[in-house]
Amino acid sequence: MKTIHLVLVIILAFITACEEKKDLSGEINTNEIEEIQQDSSQADTNLLIEELQGSWREPEYPFRRAEFKDSTVKFTEEGVIEPPSFKPFEISNECPFLPDSAANDETYFVNPENEICEKISVRNDTLTFGGVESDYTIVYERME
């Protein structure tokens, strides 16, 4: 009778240990997931900044141009009193000046100097800026 009790206790201990191990292996480390997401987001940002490099012009208004150099941009257009100069910009998945912008699945062009964000996308040789709080779209084509 003692042998049967001993065998049952061993089997019960074995089952319990297996269940605990199963629970531990199924745990998700949220810190690791956040780090992976941040690394992926940073890689996407760097890739987009790389795609932006060079000169772009608006086909409907050819005197409006954008020139990207590293993490700076210079916008040129007619009738502006102040001469254009390169200004820093950022690419982000959220706009620091708008609450709840991270909930959208958008990529933002962030102008920290003027505290403005615009939606941005690059496809083939087309650069598109779009309004966040108002509805507008500005399309640029890459200059050869």
CB 129 within 8 A of CB 138: yes
Residue 60 lies in a domain: yes
CB 130 within 8 A of CB 143: no
What is the pTM for the complete model shown?
0.69
CB 58 within 8 A of CB 140: yes
Residue 55's domain comprises 38-142
Residue 55 lies in a domain: yes
Q: What is the CATH number of the domain that holds 61?
A: 2.40.128
Residue 12 lies in a domain: no
Query: Considering its fold, how many domains does the chain have in total?
Result: 1
Residue 2 lies in a domain: no
CB 56 within 8 A of CB 143: yes
Cα 97 from Cα 23, distance rounded (Å): 42
- 95-135 pLDDT, tens per residue? 999 877 666 789 999 999 999 999 999 999 999 999 988 89
* Residue of 13 and 35 predicted with greater confidence: 13
Q: Which two tokens stand for residue 68?
A: 């990207």
Residue 76 lies in a domain: yes
Q: Which two tokens stand for residue 141?
A: 């084509």
Residue 62 lies in a domain: yes
Residue 13 lies in a domain: no
